[in-house]
Structure 1
């Protein structure tokens, strides 16, 4: 995607014409949906995909992705051009565009507030500030010269944002310089993530703990209303600069060519208002879409897939809308997400955690008792493929020849437990080798699909005589429990923030416990390999380290891998320009809708 800024004209009449062209029709309203609640709209404090989907339209990072390029390709956004990198790869210099303004907010006291390099400096430091409690602090800590020292001092006092920091500094009003401790190959991708978007210091200090509900960015939309877990409404940001769509898809890419035909020559954004409703149950969401109340579905609900798509049971990659929906003009954009699902064993849990042979045997037996192929068929409706590697297909570093899955073999799982002293008591359930009762605290949600997963896990654990208690919680409480290591087992999913393997292998680095390492996995063997991989660009040497890291995880069993799902976004005929992107969660700023 090439986004061309409209030239500023000296003549007043030309400037007025440009302004009129850029403003979207306020009566164009897009009704969208999420199937789980968001957690808030502060880039440094949130990490769920639903919050990020909204923030992608409010905030703007330095870099972004070409909307129609496949595979995903980085391009400048707030930056004037791609970063200038020193010969040793340790210094990045980034020049920002001039004339980019934050959305109006009372904090600015009626004055237009221009985005500067200092705002990016503040945003990155804020991620490292212990008081922020950012789940994304791993993106900054350990990488930039001088930042860790500031964060360490802030544990006993306030973070000194004004202290000189060689690793993150503004050379002038529009120039940012980043100095690294060691090579950080993923840095360009990190600078395209919603987490690292520049923010205004005075806004964050004014709203403090309420920053989740007061996002102020430079993107095409502003937050009009937020009812947590119910509804989010965005409206056009009149301070947004003028941008014209000029898409150049790869020849032969039919979806990209369709987007270009529908959107080229139009200004961003085209839609004046976005209304997002939260549906935690699939059937009400589907009925709202069928009746025309929703313009798009984030993804077709799992239980309805077979009724909506013609799917090849032997090849899940082949699927198409059924004739009745095609005749109605409904559209679908389908892609294998760069994601993985997995089942965490809490490595700090007194029942399941630890590295002794008997604890590894317990986790391994549980993994062997669960039939992933059956759940792909019955729950996922064949809308997924097995995950065999911790880096999914479509992400740099993926190894298609690796086989991670534990063998599904319940007799062998029982024999393994017998061998390591997990005896079956009079009540039919096993005890630990020292005779204590076993009960697994299994965290999940209370939806119909969540209950279905519980049934399959109940059967699996019954087959090896392990007692389990299912504890349904809200999505927000689920995240809190995972990050605080206060559970026994839990299902999780991770979709690429950026299409590089580092985004996935970091999930099990010990210093990310409390953030994205939700298995609470602290393995010196894994950490050593991870730190070695951090020094390398994409290469056979780095791929070898990734293979070794996967082998360590197979041996120590901190989780059971699940599957990689297809995302099936469905749209009404009136929706234009909507295509599932491998990194963007939603595409509202690139879309149009016919009234």
Structure 2
């Protein structure tokens, strides 16, 4: 499998070194106290049933409770997938259509009343059941589109049967594509080749095993009762306020093992310190919900939290002058963890909108002119305080398909070309009021979906200036983010700005946002283009290599030509940790990392 350059090659970081506090008297006095990791989410969770959730924060929790068949080496770069509950890497047929996976015996679910006081061993049938839940119409999984693209034989038909009959989903009906060959052997059979199926099978957040007894016992309340085989279990949940997890006492013996690159000094130091330690190393994790930047920042500075994930942009100039920790923070022993994120921010246009949508030359010209008129460099400098780089496509850094030297019109800011395009296709100011009209003389007002928060207001001001610079009048429609998402999924919008993070090492998943059959789900723009869809489907079936890389280029060019989505930036992520938090490294393509952390003595 080919990958983009390592993170340290994409972003040159300051050498902060590894400074760990010595364990002294304070550590000894607190020896019997549980080690507790404390930090804050910026947005509230929704629940903890993997098929029902799609937000980053809920998935961070599920990733630590449930276990997929495979996982990621914590320190390897480029990333490396290794067995987790599986006994070995899968046996894959030459045509990539049949995947046979043998589970490791002796793995047990956390204790729960649903098991009637018995220890419940993980078996292959648990994964059959868990994958089927994504297809159950009653579950209403926002992730069904992801599983559907695997092409599991018989799964979509089982879903259609439930929809047609209005009867409960038949979990007991055998299908060709999902079978437990014996107690510990799972077989997945696909309609078409899927050379990279291993990557989603390594997602603990979504594709960990659930026990049928637990789901049936808790029914509609399953979001509050996650029971998995992972290193942690849910101990307390105050919705939108506090989530507490504790070490799963029945978790099997798992030792700290990793394969950092030979030249990765930080990774080698972590391995030397922790190799052979039993996981998890912390006893509890307490996650607060603090939506406002200032109190979250102050809580961290006051030592109430061990990790500040994603330093708010408004504090970058204070905390990170010239990309390094401010001297007063460095003196306190704080550690900076800085990386170019595997993500992309973008503007999506509704291709069914009567003003901006469509495929006629004048509509394409309008979208391309808007793209050329968006001053992304000012966005990076003023709003993001330099913590981003320009994006040339949707494909995210660290994924295969991403090339740092690729350039396209997607990354251009050119007011002269934008104005010329609008003039050429009839978008002119006919009445002299300074605003352009549509080619037929009708009014032209671009409605932009936005949110009522401080950062969104900064974007609104920049966008208003950008649109005005090319003669386009704007109107902003405010609503909270979940409400905007609901409206966008229903096609009730014109323009919206959002972000996406790559959850697998393959860059094609980001291109799913332009794939016709995903319209209304991942493809929020509702873009439909036969040439793009053909490229996308061909890419799905090809193994990694030059032919597939060439198709990535073609797909990126089609995005720039039709402009259903305008890519903006890839964000630089700045995490800051306290000196007593040991072992943190921002994970790529996964959310689980708590089990690899240790807590030394906090100041008394």
Query: When the two structures are superposed, what TM-score results if normalisation uses the length of structure 1?
Result: 0.90
2:350 to 333, 346, 366: 346
Q: Secondary structure at the match of 1:241?
A: coil
* Matched residue, 1:259: 270
Worse overlay, 409-418 or 180-189: 409-418
Worse overlay, 577-586 or 281-290: 577-586
Partners of 2:39 and 2:305 within 8 A in 1:
yes
Structure 2: stretches of 5+ with no match in the other structure? 1-30
Partners of 1:25 and 1:270 within 8 A in 2:
no
Q: Secondary structure at the match of 1:243?
A: coil
Worse overlay, 159-168 or 345-354: 345-354
**CA shift at 1:586, angstroms?**
5.0
* Matched residue, 2:506: 500
* Whole-Å separation in 2 of the counterparts to 1:118 and 1:46: 22
* Matched residue, 1:568: 574
* Matched residue, 1:594: 600
**CA shift at 1:419, angstroms?**
2.6
Q: Does 1:181 align with 2:185?
A: no
Distance 1:518 1:429, change over 3 A: same
Q: Which string of whole-angstrom CA distances, capped at 9 and with x for unpartnered residues, describes residues 245-296 of structure 1?
A: 1334222312212322442232111212211122322221111111111110
Q: Does 1:67 align with 2:74?
A: yes
Q: Which string of whole-angstrom CA distances, capped at 9 and with x for unpartnered residues, describes residues 452-475 of structure 1?
A: 111111111222333323233333
Query: When the two structures are superposed, what TM-score results if normalisation uses the length of structure 2?
Result: 0.89
Of Structure 1 and Structure 2, the greater strand share is in 1
Q: Secondary structure at the match of 1:100?
A: coil
* Matched residue, 1:303: 314
* Whole-Å separation in 2 of the counterparts to 1:409 and 1:251: 44
* Matched residue, 2:12: none
* Matched residue, 2:303: 292
Worse overlay, 512-521 or 556-565: 512-521
Q: Which string of whole-angstrom CA distances, capped at 9 and with x for unpartnered residues, describes residues 93-126 of structure 1?
A: 1011122222233322332222111110111111
Q: Which string of whole-angstrom CA distances, capped at 9 and with x for unpartnered residues, describes residues 333-370 of structure 1?
A: 22111111111112222322211222212211211111
* Matched residue, 2:60: 53
* Whole-Å separation in 2 of the counterparts to 1:200 and 1:347: 42
**CA shift at 1:428, angstroms?**
4.1
2:104 to 77, 86, 97: 97
Worse overlay, 408-417 or 484-493: 408-417
Partners of 1:281 and 1:447 within 8 A in 2:
no
Distance 1:258 1:332, change over 3 A: farther
Matches within 5 A, 1:225-374: 225-311=236-322, 319-374=323-378
* Matched residue, 1:172: 182
Partners of 1:262 and 1:576 within 8 A in 2:
no
**CA shift at 1:399, angstroms?**
2.9
* Matched residue, 2:163: 155
Partners of 2:393 and 2:559 within 8 A in 1:
no
Worse overlay, 60-69 or 28-37: 28-37
* Whole-Å separation in 2 of the counterparts to 1:401 and 1:329: 37
Structure 1: stretches of 5+ with no match in the other structure? 1-23, 312-318
* Whole-Å separation in 2 of the counterparts to 1:320 and 1:299: 15
Q: Which string of whole-angstrom CA distances, capped at 9 and with x for unpartnered residues, describes residues 476-497 of structure 1?
A: 3233233322222111212111
* Matched residue, 1:84: 91
Partners of 1:263 and 1:592 within 8 A in 2:
no
Matches within 5 A, 1:107-256: 107-142=114-149, 143-156=151-164, 157=166, 158-193=168-203, 194-256=205-267
**CA shift at 1:76, angstroms?**
0.5
* Matched residue, 1:553: 559
* Matched residue, 1:460: 466
* Whole-Å separation in 1 of the counterparts to 2:356 and 2:223: 35
Partners of 1:281 and 1:448 within 8 A in 2:
no
Size of the aligned set, in residue pairs, is 565
CA RMSD of superposed structures (Å):
2.0
Partners of 1:53 and 1:585 within 8 A in 2:
yes
